[in-house]
Amino acid sequence: PHTGDKKYQHETRDGDVVKGVYSLHEADGTIRTVHYSADKHSGFNAEVRREGHAQHIQLAQHEHHH
C-alpha cells in the first residue's frame, strides 16, 4: 500500500553477505539514512546518519480570559 511518505531503498547480496542502504524523510523535516550490512560472521551492522535541521512546529498558544 502507498503510505505517502518519501523513502528510498537499495540492497545487494553477494553469497551470504547482504549490503544495503535506505533513507526516509522524517516528520521533523530531516532525512535519516541507514547503511547496513549483514553476514553470518558479523551479524547485522548499521550506520545511521541524520541530515538537515529539524523543523519544530509551533502550536498556537490560546489566551485564557477569566
Q: Is 25 in a helix, a strand, or coil?
A: strand
Distance in angstroms (rounded) separating the CA atoms of residues 61 and 63? 6
Task: Confirm whether 20 is domain-assigned.
Answer: yes
Task: Confirm whether 57 is domain-assigned.
Answer: no
Which domain, by its residues, includes 44?
A: 7-51
* End-to-end Cα separation, the chain, in angstroms: 49
pLDDT per position as a tens digit, 22-66: 999 988 889 999 999 999 999 999 999 999 988 766 666 666 666
What pLDDT, on the 0 to 100 scale, is given for residue 30?
A: 92
Residue with cell 503510505: 3
| pTM for the whole structure | 0.69
Domain count, the chain: 1
Task: Confirm whether 11 is domain-assigned.
Answer: yes
